[in-house]
Structures are given as structure tokens and as C-alpha cells.
Chains A and B, each alone.
Chain A
Amino acid sequence: MLLKRGIAVSPGVVQGPTLVLGLEDFRIPHQFVSVDAVDTEIARLHLALEAAGREISENEQLASDQLGKQYGAIFAAHRQMVQDPKLVGEIEELIREKTYSPEFATSRVLRRYAQVFRSLGNPYMAERAADIRDLEKRVLHHLLGERREELTQLTAPVVVLAHNLTPSETARLDKKYVLGFATEIGGHTSHTAILAGALEIPAVVGVGHLVTDVAGGEMAIIDGTRGEVIVDPDEATLSNYRDSEKRFRSMAQRLRPLNSLPAETHDGTRIQLMGNIEFPEEVDHCTDRGADGIGLYRTEFLYLETDREPTEEDHYDAYCRVVSAFNNQAVIIRTLDLGADKIPSALDNPDAAGPNPVLGLRSIRLSLQNLPLFKTQLRAILRAAVLGDVRIMFPLVATLLELRQAKMIVSDVVEDLEDAGVPFRRDVPIGMMMEVPSAAMMAEEFAQEVDFFSIGTNDLIQYTLAADRSDQNVANLYRPGAPSILRLIRRVVTAGRNHNVPVTVCGQMSSDPKFIPLLVGMGLRQLSVTPHAIPELKDVIRSITVSQAEGIAAHAETLDVARDVENYLRSEIDRICPDLVI
């Protein structure tokens, strides 16, 4: 039995036989061929190149249909490469002149090209070396005749283990047969994580060395909730997981009727339970579960998904798709929350990707320094606001000055749109994330200048306790139940009440059932959560009264250590909702 821990990026528990996707490096069986075989080998090369070309064309079609024409164009470029006369000529020459095997020749030539790309001055072009690697893998598969079971040729459900999953591989994913993913590398924003989340398949990334230790076909359990991968589980572990899978499923069953009921406390106080989303595709997950709107629409995927900066129309299309699904419910769009290291054009300044990306040029700071980028996004938001109750939210605001500057830019954009005669909404509410301690300290002052607050507990905890949320070494410090965090939340809620500014909590904390009584008891009436959690959180809300919640919050706020707070809340939720599977 092999247990690996990684980053849980998409919840749920599954078990099934493994499908191990190939390694980065191929064992090329023969480097040379005999002189008489040269012609046959060259014929074999051409067959493989043609097959690769056909495969790429299929991917191109699928990708264009399902993911958009920018994805499709990438495959079209790959197809052009595989037919490239210079490439084919060089490989043939190595086979003919030096009796290299087609595998060896292909690998040599492509790796040399990859090296050339990598040495081009422009970092954007250098990254295209990865495309050549993708191509090499594909051609070698056809040459080596390895049945690298494409993810579309599956006939039975499997759990996929891989070093990494490339856009190529996921473009052809057959969800029916893929139970879950585990990859050796990757983080919360890796392609695998994002896709698995959107498809609602359990996934764990960043598990480290795994693929070489596993033979295909072995049973594996992927626990995307706890971030664990267990290969070849023993009987005891298997039966444990079977039980928890069963409980999970029966809970999902029990909660289904809640989808059409409101999130209301037992004594009739309505709580707005909204969804956090990344992709327009996730809107259904929210509407199916009766979400009261979108409390956090993360717009980063627009910048991560493609090779070029998104145009105003790219933004506008994505926003319209989401807004039109929620007629008169709020859709809160958060402006760019990425660091300069993720935005190609921002790398014009080599100092932009600083030593501490989390504390550096990112989010609102980046937007304020890159007005064309910022205005493009704002224009699209104001235009999409015609379709519904759209609100703008700024991330990582640390000072009043930043907030005022950002608001001024919104006014500029309003003027621009008016002059251009483009339809838009003028009076879009503007709010901010409360995630920087400096802002929480000045909550009273900020409350006078915004229309709403949204407490981003993920980053708030990180910045307040000075503990990196992705660093396992300090996981003990990074806790939502930390008393300091409760005090800051209390501060923000009070400022909100004093100035009639609604306050939402949109971090992971609000998706955790045990914190619901606490948050409701502290006065919060708006929560934005991961869509899959909506039913169980609704269940908790409907099981408590406000006075009960207030009692729990009051007691929790007297405890001075995070561990005590969380233990207390855990025992309370067990009492209130014993059927909840946590």
C-alpha cells in the first residue's frame, strides 16, 4: 500500500483501477537500424507522422468545439509542425545518412529545436519548447506503437495518474470513464486543478514521485477532499473508503430536496448563499443547487487559459454568459487577482516578478500600474452589467488611496463608454475584498467609500498570521479559527453595520460547515461558497436559530487559541447536524 499526500484541488472520494499516463522520458529501444532497413524505417516514420497529424486534427476539432478557437489554433500549429518540410527532411537525413532509428532521429531533432526555442530571447516564445515536447511525445507514441490509452479510448472507469496533464490530454477527456486525477506536479491554479474543479471530478495534485512506482491497473483511491492518493490499498483502508463513499452519496441524496428550498435559519432569517466560480461553465452547478447569485466570480482564467491577453470581447462574452444565467441575482465580478509573473505583457519589466509574488506586484496594484489591462476588464464589466445585477469588486486593497484611484478609473471608463455611445450601466455597485490586515484595521474608513465588503479569509489568514497557505510546514498556523481572525471579522462586520455596508465572507472558511454557526452568529448574512458545498451548508443554516448561532459565536470569541476554537465548533456542529459527513 502506498500513501501519497498532495494538494486537494477538487473534492470527493473515488476508487478504481489506475491508468498511468506515460513518463516524460521515453525508453527508446533502438538507436540505430541496419543499412538495408533504412527505406522501411523511413516509410514507418511517415506513417507515424501522418497518424500523429490525424490525431492532432481531431484534437483541433474537439478543442475548437469545446474550449474555443484559441485552443483549436494551438493544435493547428502543432499539425503544421508535424508536416514541416525542414523537420521531416532533417529526421530523414539522420535515418539515411547515419542509420539512426526513426525514434532516435525524431527525438534528437525535436529536442534540438526545443533547445533553440528555449534560447530565443523572448520568454513567451521560449515556453513554446513545451509544445515541441508535446509533439515529440505524440510522434514517439505512434512510432513505438505503445497503446498510450488516449483518454477517449477508455472502456471502463479509471483513476488517472500522471506526471502532469496537458491541455492536449484533457481536451479529449471522457468524463464518463475518468473517476478522478492525481498528478505529480501542479498547484491550485494548474490546468489539472482548474479542469477537475469545473468537471467536479476528485483530484489531487503535487503528490511528487508517483508514476514510476505504480503499475497500471492497480487499485487506487483518490481523496480530493483530504488531498490523499492511496495506491493498492489494503482491505481495511478499502472498506473505510467504501463506507465514506457510501455516506457521501447518501448525504448527497438526502440533501437533494434542499436545492429548491431557501437558505433560511430555523427561526426565519434569510442568509444569502452564493457561489464562487472560475468558469462560466460552473454556473449550472450554482443554479442547480439554488444559489442566491455569484458572490465571487474569479476572472483569472481569462488570463491563464490562452497565450495572449484577453480582449475586451473575450471578457465581455464570458461575463455575459454568467450574468444572463442569474436574472436579478447579484453577480460579483472580481477584477484581476494575479501576479505579474502570470501576465505575459507585464513581464516587460524584468523586476516585475519579484522575490515574493504574494506580497508583490499583483491584483489591484498590477491593474493600477497597467491601465490598458485594467480598463479593458472594467469596460467589459460595465457593458455586461446591462444584463443583470452586476457588481465590481477589487482584490487586495490595502490603502484608501488605492481604492480611490481604482474608483476614479471606473469613472474614466464610464466617461469613455458614454462618449463612444456604447450601452452600459453607470451605477454599478463597487466593493472590495477585505483580505489585507491594513484594510481590516481601517474598516470604518473603508466602509464610507464602498458599496460592500467581501472578506477573503484565505488571504486574510495568510497575511495576518504570516503563514503561507500552501506551505505544509506552517499548516498549523494557517487556521480560520484563529482568534485574531475572528477579531478582524468582528471589526469588519461592525464597520459594515455602522455604515449600512453589506458584508460577505467568500473564503474557504465559509464553505466549511463548522464555521457557519459562528459566522451567522457574528452577524454575517451573506456567504459565498464552493458550489458543491451549497446543499450541506444550507442544511446547517436551516438547522440553527440566530440566537443559537449568537451563543456559539459569543463563546468561540472567548477562546484564545485556534485549536480550541475549532474543536469547540466541531463539537457544536456534530451536535447540530450529526448526519453531516465532514
Chain B
Amino acid sequence: MDKVSVCFPEDQADLTGIVVRAVVESIMEHPVCRRTVTVNLEHGLHLVPCSMIAKIAAQFDGDVRIHKGTQSVDAKTVFDLMTLAAEKDTLLTLEAEGKGSAGIVDKLAHLFESNFEPTGSNAP
């Protein structure tokens, strides 16, 4: 999040409280959640797992991205996810921004941890 400088004239000091509250609320409504996961699949993150990720990410209103080193892709599109070409044992960082970001990151992390098995909850 960018730093924001706010200056208040002395006679409006009680506005600070309002602004600070607004900023804090803003952070809470647009929280950024990150988690690092490992790719445990023999063939890496190939088409079927990418489609499972995209399907879940699509449920989320805010941004969802996956980072591999300096590469960063939009997790809502299978085609971008494939370009990660993430082989087995690669470390990836899941990132979601917005209300409910922790929940979506949890769901995605679960996919990785369960090795993308098509169970009831993961099934695309």
C-alpha cells in the first residue's frame, strides 16, 4: 500500500480521527493476502490444474495473482497461468486483494496442498 501524507490545519485536528478511521477501514476492506505454496505435481502446473485454479479464482471479485520469482500472472485466466510453466518443486506466491482475500487464498492453497485431486470441493 502506498504511503499517504495528510496535513491538517490545526483547527481541524478532529478530522484526523475520521481520516485515520477511514484509512484503517479501507485497509480492512481491501486487505492483501499472500501465501507461498509448492508445486508438487509430477508434470508441474499443467492444463488441468491451471483450469482448477482459474475456476476458483473467478469466484472472487478482487484481483488474484500468482507470482513466480519476478513473473506475475492473473490467476483468473488459464492462458496466463500456463505461461508460468511451473515445474515440480517450484515455489509460487498466491496473492489476492480485496474483501475475502484470505478465504480465496485458503481455497487456492488447499488445491496445491491436496495436489489438485478432484474432490467434491476442488472439482472444476
Query: Interface residues, chain A, CB within 8 Å of chain B?
Result: 69, 73-74, 76-77, 79-81, 84-87, 113, 116-117, 120-122, 124-125, 128, 131, 307-309, 344-345
What is the CB-to-nearest-CB distance from B116 to chain A, in angstroms, rounded to a whole number?
A: 9
CB within 8 Å of A: which B20-49 residues: 41-44, 46-48
- Residues from chain A with a CB closer than 8 A to the CB of B55 are 80
A-B contact pairs, 18 of them (CB 8 A): A73-B48, A73-B124, A74-B47, A77-B47, A77-B78, A79-B124, A80-B54, A80-B124, A84-B54, A86-B80, A116-B82, A120-B82, A120-B85, A122-B87, A124-B44, A125-B82, A128-B82, A131-B47
CB within 8 Å of A: which B65-124 residues: 74, 76-80, 82-83, 85, 87, 118, 123-124
Distance in angstroms between the alpha carbons of A459 and B41 in the assembled complex: 36
Instruction: Decide yes or no: A84 and B48 within 8 Å by CB, A128-B82, A307-B43, A344-B43 being known contacts.
Output: no
What is the CB-to-nearest-CB distance from A431 to chain B, in angstroms, rounded to a whole number?
A: 31
Instruction: Decide yes or no: A77 and B77 within 8 Å by CB, A116-B83, A122-B87 being known contacts.
Output: no
Instruction: Decide yes or no: A122 and B42 within 8 Å by CB, A73-B124, A80-B124 being known contacts.
Output: no
- Residues from chain B with a CB closer than 8 A to the CB of A80 are 51-52, 54-55, 78, 124
- Residues from chain B with a CB closer than 8 A to the CB of A86 are 74, 76-77, 79-80
Q: Are A87 and B44 in contact (CB under 8 A)?
A: no
- Residues from chain B with a CB closer than 8 A to the CB of A307 are 43, 46, 48
Of A69, A121, A124, the contact of B46 (CB 8 Å cutoff)? A124
Q: Are B79 and A76 in contact (CB under 8 A)?
A: no
Instruction: Decide yes or no: A84 and B78 within 8 Å by CB, A73-B124, A308-B43 being known contacts.
Output: yes
Instruction: Decide yes or no: A345 and B44 within 8 Å by CB, A80-B124, A84-B54 being known contacts.
Output: no
What is the CB-to-nearest-CB distance from A23 to chain B, in angstroms, rounded to a whole number?
A: 25
- Residues from chain A with a CB closer than 8 A to the CB of B19 are none
**Closest partner residue, chain B, to A131 (CB atom):** B47
Q: Are B118 and A73 in contact (CB under 8 A)?
A: yes
Known: A76-B48, A77-B52, A125-B82. 7 other contacts (CB 8 A): A76-B51, A84-B79, A86-B79, A116-B82, A121-B85, A307-B43, A309-B42
**Closest partner residue, chain B, to A126 (CB atom):** B85
Distance in angstroms between the alpha carbons of A308 and B88 in the assembled complex: 13
- Residues from chain B with a CB closer than 8 A to the CB of A79 are 51, 124
Q: Are B46 and A125 in contact (CB under 8 A)?
A: yes
What is the CB-to-nearest-CB distance from B114 to chain A, in angstroms, rounded to a whole number?
A: 14
Instruction: Decide yes or no: A77 and B83 within 8 Å by CB, A85-B76, A86-B74, A307-B43 being known contacts.
Output: no
- Residues from chain A with a CB closer than 8 A to the CB of B82 are 116-117, 120, 125, 128
- Residues from chain B with a CB closer than 8 A to the CB of A113 are 79
Of B42, B48, B124, the contact of A345 (CB 8 Å cutoff)? B42
Smallest CB-CB A-B distances: 5 pairs: A86-B77, A77-B51, A80-B51, A76-B124, A120-B85
Residue from B54, B78, B80, B83 whose CB has the most chain A CB atoms within 10 Å: B78
- Residues from chain A with a CB closer than 8 A to the CB of B80 are 86
Q: How large is the interface on B (under 10, 10 to 19, 20 to 34, 35 or more residues)?
A: 20 to 34
Instruction: Decide yes or no: A84 and B77 within 8 Å by CB, A116-B83, A120-B83, A308-B42 being known contacts.
Output: yes
- Residues from chain B with a CB closer than 8 A to the CB of A84 are 54, 77-79
Distance in angstroms between the alpha carbons of A87 and B50 in the assembled complex: 15
What is the CB-to-nearest-CB distance from B68 to chain A, in angstroms, rounded to a whole number?
A: 13
Q: Are B43 and A124 in contact (CB under 8 A)?
A: yes
Distance in angstroms between the alpha carbons of A120 and B83 in the assembled complex: 7
B15 CB–A CB distance under 8 Å: no
Q: Are A128 and B46 in contact (CB under 8 A)?
A: yes
**Closest partner residue, chain A, to B84 (CB atom):** A120
What is the CB-to-nearest-CB distance from A271 to chain B, in angstroms, rounded to a whole number?
A: 44
Instruction: Decide yes or no: A81 and B44 within 8 Å by CB, A120-B85, A125-B85 being known contacts.
Output: no
Q: Are B78 and A81 in contact (CB under 8 A)?
A: yes
What is the CB-to-nearest-CB distance from B27 to chain A, in angstroms, rounded to a whole number?
A: 27
What is the CB-to-nearest-CB distance from A10 to chain B, in angstroms, rounded to a whole number?
A: 30
Distance in angstroms between the alpha carbons of A289 and B54 in the assembled complex: 49
Distance in angstroms between the alpha carbons of A69 and B52 in the assembled complex: 14
What is the CB-to-nearest-CB distance from A93 to chain B, in angstroms, rounded to a whole number?
A: 14
Distance in angstroms between the alpha carbons of A131 and B47 in the assembled complex: 9
**Closest partner residue, chain A, to B44 (CB atom):** A122
- Residues from chain A with a CB closer than 8 A to the CB of B46 are 124-125, 128, 307
Instruction: Decide yes or no: A81 and B43 within 8 Å by CB, A116-B83, A122-B87 being known contacts.
Output: no
Distance in angstroms between the alpha carbons of A556 and B48 in the assembled complex: 57
What is the CB-to-nearest-CB distance from B84 to chain A, in angstroms, rounded to a whole number?
A: 9
Distance in angstroms between the alpha carbons of A79 and B52 in the assembled complex: 11
Residue from A77, A113, A307, A309 whose CB has the most chain B CB atoms within 10 Å: A77
What is the CB-to-nearest-CB distance from A125 to chain B, in angstroms, rounded to a whole number?
A: 6
What is the CB-to-nearest-CB distance from B60 to chain A, in angstroms, rounded to a whole number?
A: 12
Residue from B41, B46, B123 whose CB has the most chain A CB atoms within 10 Å: B46
- Residues from chain A with a CB closer than 8 A to the CB of B51 are 76-77, 79-81
Q: Are A69 and B44 in contact (CB under 8 A)?
A: no
Residue from B43, B44, B87 whose CB has the most chain A CB atoms within 10 Å: B43
Distance in angstroms between the alpha carbons of A307 and B42 in the assembled complex: 10
What is the CB-to-nearest-CB distance from A238 to chain B, in angstroms, rounded to a whole number?
A: 46
- Residues from chain B with a CB closer than 8 A to the CB of A81 are 51, 78-79
What is the CB-to-nearest-CB distance from B50 to chain A, in angstroms, rounded to a whole number?
A: 7
What is the CB-to-nearest-CB distance from B61 to chain A, in angstroms, rounded to a whole number?
A: 13
Distance in angstroms between the alpha carbons of A120 and B43 in the assembled complex: 13
**Closest partner residue, chain A, to B58 (CB atom):** A85
Q: Are B77 and A85 in contact (CB under 8 A)?
A: yes
Distance in angstroms between the alpha carbons of A79 and B74 in the assembled complex: 18
Instruction: Decide yes or no: A116 and B42 within 8 Å by CB, A73-B124, A77-B47, A85-B58 being known contacts.
Output: no
Distance in angstroms between the alpha carbons of A430 and B36 in the assembled complex: 48
What is the CB-to-nearest-CB distance from A308 to chain B, in angstroms, rounded to a whole number?
A: 6
Residue from B41, B42, B50, B82 whose CB has the most chain A CB atoms within 10 Å: B82
Distance in angstroms between the alpha carbons of A307 and B49 in the assembled complex: 12
Q: Are B48 and A74 in contact (CB under 8 A)?
A: yes
Distance in angstroms between the alpha carbons of A121 and B82 in the assembled complex: 11
**Closest partner residue, chain B, to A64 (CB atom):** B118
